[in-house]
Amino acid sequence: MQTAYAVIDVETTGLPQHTFAHPIQVGVVFVDAHGAEVAAHEWLVIPPETDAQEAAEAEKVHGIPLSRVWAEGISARESVERLTALMQSHGCPWLFAFNLSFDRLMLQRMGFTYTQWGDCVMEYAAQDLRRNKRTIAMNHALTEYKLAGREPGAPHSALSDARLALSLARASGLLPGAPQ
């Protein structure tokens, strides 16, 4: 199946400046050239190492306990194989992320390498807002983001964040399709 692009997000055990920080959840949404979602996938990833204190702090953000990750997750190698197979089965679309530098670094730590990276949704949307072109669509996406539990400290998942990043990318004009 050929798709135009994908939006990915990861939840992690910590911040990127910590070498022990690794993905514990991956969420990816595949979208056609008209902006319609054609597939979505999410899974847990067992990290190779963790710092218990940092992992506990990260859990406050995403709400995913490490005990669940260890019980239900797959290895980083299996995760890379799954993501690679998904990208190939969808025609290796462009891959976007809300916080591209963070998500790409975390995926690289897991062993995933990719060459068709798109833009950073967060930076593009921020530029759009700075240009004072806050459209009805952008207001819709920001409202959707807030309604989906994006208050500080509210738990969330990689897949819900990928979908919210997609909505924001559509609203800011980075990607085709009306916000859904």
Sort strands 23-31 and 5-12 into parallel, antiparallel or unpaired.
antiparallel
Write the pLDDT tens digit of every residue in 135-162. Answer: 545 565 555 555 555 554 556 789 988 9
Separation of alpha carbons 106 and 24, rounded Å = 10
Residue with tokens 């459209």, as numbered in its chain: 135
What predicted TM-score, i.e. pTM, was given to this entire model? 0.85
Q: Which domains does the chain have, with CATH numbers?
A: 5-172 (3.30.420.10)
Model confidence band, residue 180 (pLDDT cutoffs 50, 70, 90): very low
Question: What is the three-class DSSP state of 27?
Answer: strand
Joined tokens for residue 90:
């969808």
- 115's CB contacts (< 8 A; 6+ apart) are none
